[in-house]
Each structure stands twice: as structure tokens, then as C-alpha cells.
Chains A and B, each alone.
Chain A
């Protein structure tokens, strides 16, 4: 059976796979197929958003305007962010959750499989609408992904389409989150207590609560934009007694938890991979869970650190500075625990481990600049410069995206039944890790030297580092094509069959099913053997 399912077109009767493309993919209620759909969609959006980043870096390659008009440039920065956040990173995590959560908790599928289908199939339409705004009269959104009024209201009627697309993405995310919570809380195999769950499952459980809490807040904020523009309300319109700063408060009350939505599952992934390749249990399992929960809690009470320069009262500035600095404590615990997990282990350095290790170092660098940004007087200098651009790309690219890459390499043999090419995986890793630093590290210097973000052109003093950054950008972008090659090869060409165990040090229920995972798994609940779980001993 294991080899019968290697190719998608091998329909094994025992596997009960639906026949035909429509039945298999469009009407699917299978968590694995939906997971695959999410992952393929995320990868596609990663390249669409990446292509926009290439245009941005090409225009910024040297001073002077060479390629695009400023309006188009602003459209690129806005769309790049919206697509990468809502189209690439979030769907990738949902895809990983879909694939792995039922396998990791011993459930036959997600709790709400039909809703699962709907959550996914909303997304392609949402992004078609979003992308189509670029071809509308007055062009697409140009006011930044944060959609600050009054600027965002200056757009043409594409504003309405963008807001509708955001509503659809929000509905998709909320349904996905409900599904994940319902699955984790109701469908664990008998005997798999909460404190025996893999840390990836824990991280997703907490993330799903964040999603449910804040996506409606975003929906509310953009709905107010919509009524301000089309129905004569004045939520944010000064002339009617509204307040543009109120939008920023509401937006960031969503926005800050949102950035943790994009990093907490990454923490979970890295906490799975490092113990596997260090062949040693995760250090401080419970502390890791408490740290994730603390970070999630803090994410609700620090939003205005994105707005230190709007002119808040002194007390507000001080409160948000102190609260923000506190995040360093649980984040520090996580980093120290990962390093301690490696200590006295027996490490090997396969591609997933390389990405996970790079994550620990480079995410921490992004955390450091985050700590610096928390200091209000210093933020008065850093705010809205390339220093901030460097900061959030370190946490989102070398943080979230590297964790997604690590997860893809880690679980790919389980998904497709074949080992990927370790040699090409490593080439992909080294190309990515070097180029991403060439791309983003000089942006710290640019910001400190005084280059604002979101500008299409700059003084010649900023030319050298911009050129270096652009070269890193093209190099990083091209390197990601290697990833497509490695995945394609593993799925369709690789002759190297994966065992059920795949990795010597891997532990947990997903490694007890054959590779590739059959279409239906755990139709009868597995018997839980504490010694075979990643975290069988709840005291740790």
C-alpha cells in the first residue's frame, strides 16, 4: 500500500480516494488533501508576492526612478504585504495544521471537514478579487497594507473590492481556527492528555484562539472604512468629528496579535524539529507552552507600540513601552530552551534542522531589533524607517518562512512517501540563508542612516546598501525556485522510499502511520504508549 499511493494518479481502492479531479480536490473533505491545497496555494502566493518584492527591489536598485511610477511602486509594497501575510504565511500554517494536527493527535480527520473545504476554497476567490484590483480604474490599494485612513480612502472603487477580499480572508481564517480548536479539544485519541500533545499542536491551539479573537476586529475596522467611504459615516473622518488615530488603535489591536499568529506555529514547528535532530527531548516542555500562552496574552496589550509617533499621552507611551519589553521574557525562555535542548544531544544536520537552527539565530536577531524598537525615544528615530523593514523581515522571512520551509522538508517524506534530495535541500538552505542576510541585514544600516520605508527613490547616500540589498533580494528570490525543484523531485521522481519513521529521532503519532500517510488514518483511535510520544511525561 505504501508505494501504491506514491503518485496522486495511483488510486488505490483500499485508500478510498475519490476519483476524478473535481471529486478529489474541489469537493474534498479530507484533511490531508485540504492541507495539500493550502500548501500549494501558499507556495503560489509566495511567488506572486515575491514577484512584487522583485519589482520593489529592482526600482530601489539605484537612485532615480527607472522602472515604475510611484503609484505603482506603492501598489507593489501594499500588495506584497497583503499577499505575503494573508496569502502565503497564514495559509501555509493552516495547511501544515490541517495535515499534521489530526495525525499528531490520532484523529481520523478535522472535526468539521465540510467547513474545512469551504475555508480553503474561499481563499482563491478572495485573492482573485484582491489581485484584480490592480487592473481596475484608479488601480489597486496604494496606502500600505495597514490601510490607514485618510490615505486609504483616496483610492478608487478598488477600495470596496479590497475590503471585500479582506472580509473573505477573515471568514476563511475564522472557520479554519474554529476547526482547529474543535479538532484539538474533541478528537484527541483516548489517553492523549493536553499535556501530552506535541508542541506544534499546542502552538496551533493558542494561535487559533488569537485568530478568533482578532479577525473580527479587522473586519470591523475595514467595515468602518467602507461605510466612511460609501455611506457617509465619519468614524475616521475628521471633518465629521471622527478620528483617524482610532483606526490605527483598532487596526493594531488586530495587527499585533496577527504578527504572533504568524510566528507561534513557527515556534511549534521548531520545537518539533530540534528535539528530533538533537535526539533529545524538548527542554522545558511545559515552560514552552506557558511561554507561548504568555506571548499570546501579551500580544493583546501592546498594540500601540506600532503608534509611538502618533502623539499618545506620556502615560500611554510608557505603558506600551513597558508591556512591549515584557514580551522579551517569554521569548527569551523559548530561545534558551531550544539551545538547551541541543546541549548534550546527538545532533545531525539534515535540511529541516538547518532551517530550524537558522530560525533560532535569525529570529532572535529580529527579536533584538524588536526590543530596541520597544524603547520609545529610540523608536522616535527608528519608526517608519528601513530599520523597521529589516526587523519585521527578520521575524517574518527568517522567522515564519524559514519555519515553514523547515516543516515542509521535515514532513514532506510523510506526505509523499519519498525522501527529497538532501543535497539539493542543503543547497537551497545555504543559498537562502546567505542571500536573505545580504537582502535584509543592510536594511538596518539604511534605516539608522535615515532612509524612510515605503519610498520609491532615495538620496545617493543610501545607494550602496540598497544595491547590496537588491542583489540579495534577487538571489533569495531565485533560490526559492530550488525549493520548487526539490519538492517536485521528491513527489514525482525520487526513488528513495521513506520509512514510516522517516527520521531516526522523530517521535509522535504521525510517525506511526506509513509513508506516505494513507488517505484515511486513525479510523480506529491509536493506543497511546507514553514512551513513544514526544511528550509522554507531563512533568517535563
Chain B
């Protein structure tokens, strides 16, 4: 019942923002992965990320409208009331009505924007009824993915994902290698590609339990609509449900030491049958992944 209410309210509140979003989308493609000259947040590939994007656009346009009004008045004042034009200063310095108005109106605007934000947050916080659980552990400077539950079964898949070797060679100080040359297909993947991506099925509610082994990291794929800190000794949970197959890229978002900039995240989303096929190829947790494109040594943390 909350979700229908959410939806109706969101539509009502987001209507003006949506018009503009559409306008923006037509001129600037809202890419799922970073694009050159990208100006705005991605709308992403989950309901959550789209709702977050809408909230972002609502807030942005509220700020733009207030900004235009306030700065507009200011510029009018600066042009009309200048001494060089012979302006004579008034001496008034108080107006209870005005001051009450610009205290109360912002409060109303804030309530209006807190409401949809609350609804989105409530939905995001609900990790119940997940069909699959993945444990993510942050290390200096790589991620471990453990598939601990898939529709009640333990798939026993467990691997480490770290920066792929071409990026790693290119990013060394004075390597002389061209970052633009690191590509997968047409997409430049410098520092945004890993040796072994996280593979997820479409249409399945996936719960992530996120922690870290050494220092604090943060797991962030913008297309999924959130980031979550990975903290040693603490298990955080988040969830996603992705409907579009594709490759979604992200990075560690919490400073975690010298190679913080070099521990990307890649999520490869495939259809459910493909995913189950992939799982059977992985099991039972071979030491060396059979289908990895690049065989990279998965040594322990180098910290």
C-alpha cells in the first residue's frame, strides 16, 4: 500500500521535474557509465536509481527557481539602486511581514521536498524478501564477492575482483602508456575495469551484505543508485534489482589508502538462465576462475 501511495505522490511531485528531465535526456544522454562531458547524474538501471535521480532533479529545480528569483532581485537592485544613477538611499530596515513570509515559505518548500525523500528512503531501506545474497568485503585494494545465497541454496562461489592489468600497468607513475588506449570495445575503461566482475541476474532482488577487512571502503556503482560504506567489524546491508542486462561500472568511494583510486567495481548483469549457466561453470569455487578473461594472480592483501 505504501508503494502505490509513493508512486502517486512521486508522480504528482515529479511532474514538472520530469518534463525537464526529459528535455535534458534528449540533449544529453544519461549514460549508465561515465561519458565525456557528462553533466548530470545517471538515471541508472534500477527503480531506486531512477527515484533517486528524480529526487535529485526535483531538488535541483527547486534550487534553480529560488536562485533565479533571489539573484534576479539582487541584480535588479544592483542596476536600479546605484549611486551613479542618483539613487537616494531609503532608511527603512525592517518589515515583519516580509520576514515572516521568507521564514514560512522555505519551511513549506522543505516539507514538500522532505516528503518524497522520506518515501524513497523507506523503500530503499527495505531489504526484506531478497532472493539472493552476496557478501562484499573490501580490502586494500580489491573487492571479494561471496555468493552466499541464491533462492535458498549456497552457490559456494567466492572470488576476488581487482583492477585489470592493462589499467594497472598504465596507471604507474611515468608509465608513458596512454589511458585513452585502455578500452573494452569502444568504451574507454581505464581504471573502471576489473579482472573478474561481479555477475548478477536480471529481475532478482539481490541483497548485499557489505563489510571490510582492513580499513573503511565504500562500494558504489552509480547506475544502481547508492553507495554503502564497507566497515571492518560492521555488516551493512543494501539491495538492488536490475532489469536491464549490461555492464555497470563504479569505484571505491571512501579514501582507503594509496591505491584508493585503483579499486574499481564492475557488475555484469545477465539474464537469469545465463546467470545460472555461469554459476554452474564457477562451482565448486575453483581456485582459479575458469572463465576469467584475464588470469590475474589473486594474492592476499598487499597492505
Interface residues of A (CB under 8 A from B): 63-71, 74, 142-144, 148, 150-151, 154, 238-239, 243-245, 278-285, 287, 309-311, 314, 317-318, 321-322, 325-326, 328-329, 332-333, 335-337, 339-349, 357, 360-361, 364-365, 368-369, 371-372, 375-378, 380-381, 383-385, 445, 448-465, 505, 539-540
Contacts and interface: CB of A to CB of B under 8 A. Distances in A.
Given A284-B95, A335-B70, A450-B34, 7 more contacts: A63-B180, A328-B110, A345-B90, A368-B63, A375-B56, A384-B227, A461-B34
Interface stretch (B144-152, B168-176, B275-283, B294-302): B168-176
A520 B149 CA distance: 77
8 contacts: A143-B255, A311-B228, A342-B77, A369-B63, A372-B63, A459-B190, A459-B191, A540-B93
Nearest to B64: A368
A189 to B, nearest CB: 23
Interface string B53-75: 00110011011001100110110
A449 B39 CA distance: 6
A540 B99 CA distance: 12
A245 B234 contact: yes
B121 interface: yes
Interface string B232-264: 111011000000000000111111111111100
B117 A279 contact: no
A361 B93 contact: no
Contacts of A281: 91, 93
Contacts of A64: 170-171, 175, 177-179
A283 B83 CA distance: 19
Contacts of A71: 258
Contact of B37 (A317, A372, A452, A465): A465
B106 A283 contact: no
Interface stretch (B13-21, B153-161, B195-203, B213-221): B213-221
Chain A to chain B: the 9 pairs with minimum beta-carbon distance, closest first = A238-B233, A455-B261, A311-B236, A449-B38, A461-B34, A368-B63, A380-B226, A281-B93, A344-B90
A316 to B, nearest CB: 11
Contacts, number: 307
Interface residues of B, number: 102
Contacts of B226: 309, 377, 380-381
Contacts of B177: 64
Contacts of A457: 171, 179, 191, 261-262
B218 A384 contact: yes
Contacts of B125: 314, 317
Given A66-B174, A461-B34, A346 B103 contact: no
A128 B256 CA distance: 27
Interface in B68-99: 70-71, 73-74, 77-78, 81-84, 87-95, 98-99
Given A69-B173, A321-B117, A348-B84, A454 B260 contact: yes
A443 B225 CA distance: 20
Contacts of B38: 445, 448-450, 461
A348 B257 CA distance: 51
B253 A383 contact: yes
Nearest to A70: B258
B179 A63 contact: yes
B229 A310 contact: yes
A13 B89 CA distance: 43
A284 B175 CA distance: 61
Given A154-B215, A449-B35, A461-B188, A329 B107 contact: yes
B250 to A, nearest CB: 7
B261 A456 contact: yes
B110 A361 contact: no
Contact of B74 (A67, A339, A375): A339
Given A65-B175, A151-B257, A332-B102, A460 B55 contact: no
A461 B216 contact: no
Nearest to A344: B90
Contact of A345 (B81, B180, B189): B81
A70 B34 CA distance: 22
Given A321-B114, A339-B73, A459 B175 contact: no
Contacts of A349: 78, 82
B285 interface: no
B41 interface: yes
B40 interface: yes
Contact of B41 (A448, A453, A505): A448
A383 B222 CA distance: 11
A336 B103 CA distance: 10
B174 A150 contact: no
A281 B51 CA distance: 46
